[in-house]
Structure 1
């Protein structure tokens, strides 16, 4: 029962606020109040509508919302989201377009498991779906995974990525966004040692903390200030009886959301007060800018406690990736063994999560890779979100990434054939 009471208390508070919003909306919307128009009732109804939606979306997994796609033939084709590999903690999804010719580039998009669902990369998927076969890691909410499924830490995550790479074959281009960048690098090094023929053609690391100490941010400062004991006592809780993962130790998504909001609390407070005013004036919409953003931003998932704690201890505090000391089941994973996979890093000049310098550190670790297979791109005015979504990604970063893939499309295949012949 340890920590289960606090988990249920957070869920109770969330549920109560959702109910308060629904109650206020229902009460202030009674037809009888229309007899005596009063701005107070309009404001109360608007507050209730925004509040109910806000707290409801926290436990709702967003939909991908990618249903049709216009191809070169000028026709709209349905988009089918198929499960290629099914695992307890993650599924590998494929965005297939029936009726469209198979695209030359095959991209594995590694989504972050840092509190949000993989749908955070929806716009990234849409932009790549135009002329690529797109696959993505769809991490599961830990509260929905039974305790019988076992543990899941950074080593397990790395093995998952290696398995997905092997399943897709050596003609794959891997794009890791933010948090999984160090583990995607480790997974590639793991394949370089264990199964060289299965290595991807290229690896693109976007805004990842390869070396968190290379440039300090609020995230890295927090990791340095607290001890592992403090983290376990204050951040880890047991899933309550409401969900299938009852009893599983997790880092709750609601706690992660609270930390996200606290970093820009004034901005979020203004956004919600402005939205209440828009709703009261009848200027809102179900898919307006506010709702599109917060439907995704507020939808959070729980992380397995082992994954969260081992990430902080081994990636941020121990710097195992940065120092090339990462191990899996006691065996050293040598990043220097990567010698034929082209590697590119992407950083944003205004990134306050993974500051410039943290991701490019990966290139120094690739001692066995020729310089002509290494590349870094710095987007001067982009923040953390902008390096994988928005105009900076669409107009500047995406073209450079796809060009890098095309320039290195044949290398891995030749090496794979050579190894197979040997």
Structure 2
């Protein structure tokens, strides 16, 4: 019960800060104070506005916000369809109504690392112009009843296997960050168990296939702490407020604290600047600060067994890096991948999954000819930029599409004219 108590204490602290922000904003905005204008009251209201919004977003799953697509002067509605529904995650399809289906069928494997799949919203938008886009939508562990059982990295891998089978062999898979080693293992699993269901290409973006290839603060932490320390300090039990009451999780609020601590000074300055903008009435609901932090602060709990098995087997045990990963009692051999083209993408300034960690996948693909291997290191790009920033839009995305076309049957598909999503141009 002590773990449940600490979980509820964190939620109570979050709730209290949200309430304090709302109270400060309401009090400082009281009409009678306008009789005697005071800059301190404006700053108090601004602090309350920013504080309430920040702490409220921590428990809300962001909306995809992808509703329309404009191409050649014609508007198309986008319908998000659930193709496969499972307890811990669904397979979604962004269907563009009234548009001829694109020949490129892309599966985005989203990370389960504390944020929702909506973190890849801009990635989805940029690919919708040229592709039929599918994505893995992982669920918040606190909302999953204990009766649904466990979910560790083997279960994650088998989910990816099922999603690949559902989509068929003409799929092009793009795994972003954390799922890169598990998606590589899932592809190898299919190569042995169901070769006909293998995807056409596999692109791994900034993932820790071999964490020891280039140590970072993340890998150093994984090496430094023991599994007992992690289980004692990081794992808590979901409280009575949620459907997953009693489930052991790595809370999203703890993960968020880790994210922020890595760049605390920059985040503090960002919020101070935003308070100033609100006080001067220069801010808006959808300005750059709010667009970023509405997504960044929205966190989800991870199943405890998934978090602990990730650290123990991928970072400490290096099971994928040493080609010793076991799924459902079957030892996966990555060398069995012989006809799935594999590309790795890394950022030269990635401080989470440093250059060298992801490209290690190519050395593991011993059965794959060099003609089906490719790699790219994006200069000046950090972790976020290689899948969602300008580096992705301007440089990496065209290279990935070129790689997909080069390893597709038949001629590359004709490129449509530039389209728009939500009335904002998408740069190809």
TM-score (norm 2): 0.95
- Which residue number corresponds to residue 127 of structure 2? 128
Alpha-carbon distance between aligned partners in 1 of 2:94 and 2:327, rounded to the nearest angstrom: 31
Which residue number in structure 2 is paired with residue 370 of structure 1? Answer: 369
What residue is the counterpart of 1:43 in the other structure? 43
What's the counterpart of residue 416 of structure 1? Answer: none
- Counterpart position of 2:290: 291
Separation of aligned partners in 1, 2:329 and 2:170: 30
1: CA distance, partners of 2:51 / 2:353: 32
Q: What does residue 9 of structure 1 align with?
A: 9
Say yes or no: does 1:70 pair with 2:108: no
Aligned length in residues: 410
Aligned to 1:415: none
1:313-356 Cα distance to aligned partner (Å, 9 max, x none): 00000000000000012220000000000000000000000000
Unaligned runs of 5+ in 2: 411-428
Could you tell me whether the CA contact under 8 Å between 1:173 and 1:202 is conserved in 2? Answer: yes
Question: What residue is the counterpart of 1:111 in the other structure?
Answer: 110
Q: What is aligned with 2:229?
A: 230
Q: Does the alignment pair 1:139 with 2:138?
A: yes
1:382 matches 2:381: yes
Counterpart Cα distance in 2 of 1:361 and 1:138: 27
Is the CA contact 1:176–1:206 (under 8 Å) kept in the aligned structure 2? Answer: yes
Q: Which runs of 4+ in 1 moved over 3 A?
A: none
Aligned residues of 1:335 and 1:365 also touching (Cα < 8 A): yes
The whole-number CA distance in structure 1 between the counterparts of 2:215 and 2:317 is: 15
Q: How many angstroms does 1:81 deviate by?
A: 0.4
For 2:86 and 2:60, the matched residues in 1 are separated by: 21
Instruction: State the partner residue of 2:340.
Output: 341
Paired residues for 1:115-264 under 5 Å: 115-264=114-263
Q: Distance in 2 between matches of 1:175 and 1:393?
A: 13
Q: CA deviation at 1:410?
A: 2.4
CA distance in 2, matches of 1:329, 1:100: 40
Q: Using the alignment, how far apart are the partners of 1:373 and 1:131 within structure 2?
A: 22
Residues 206 and 388 of structure 1 are in contact (CA less than 8 Å); yes or no, is this contact kept in structure 2? yes
Q: Is the 8 A contact 1:206 1:359 kept in 2?
A: yes
User: Would you say the 8 A contact 1:201–1:410 is kept in 2?
Assistant: no
Once the two structures are TM-superposed, the CA of residue 390 in structure 1 deviates from its matched residue by 1.4
Partner of 1:278: 277
Alignment partner of 2:58: what SS? helix
Tell me the SS of whatever aligns to 2:275: helix
- DSSP 3-state at the match of 1:79: strand
Give the Cα–Cα distance (whole angstroms) in 2 for the partners of residues 274 and 348 of structure 1.
28
Q: Which runs of 5+ in 1 are unaligned?
A: 412-422
Residues 242-290 of structure 1: per-residue CA shift (max 9 Å, x gap): 1100000000000000000000000000000110011000000000010
Counterpart Cα distance in 1 of 2:394 and 2:292: 21
1:391 matched to 2:385: no
Q: Distance in 1 between matches of 2:399 and 2:89?
A: 29
SS at match of 2:100: coil
- Name the residue aligned to 1:330: 329
- 2-side partners of 1:161 and 1:11: how far apart? 32
Match of 2:355 in 1: 356
Mapped to 2, the partners of 1:52 and 1:104 lie a distance apart of: 45
For residues 376 and 15 of structure 2, what CA distance do their matches in structure 1 show?
Answer: 44
Cα distance in 2 for residues equivalent to 1:274 and 1:374: 45
> 1-side partners of 2:328 and 2:190: how far apart?
15
- How far does residue 131 in structure 1 lie from its aligned partner after superposition? 1.1
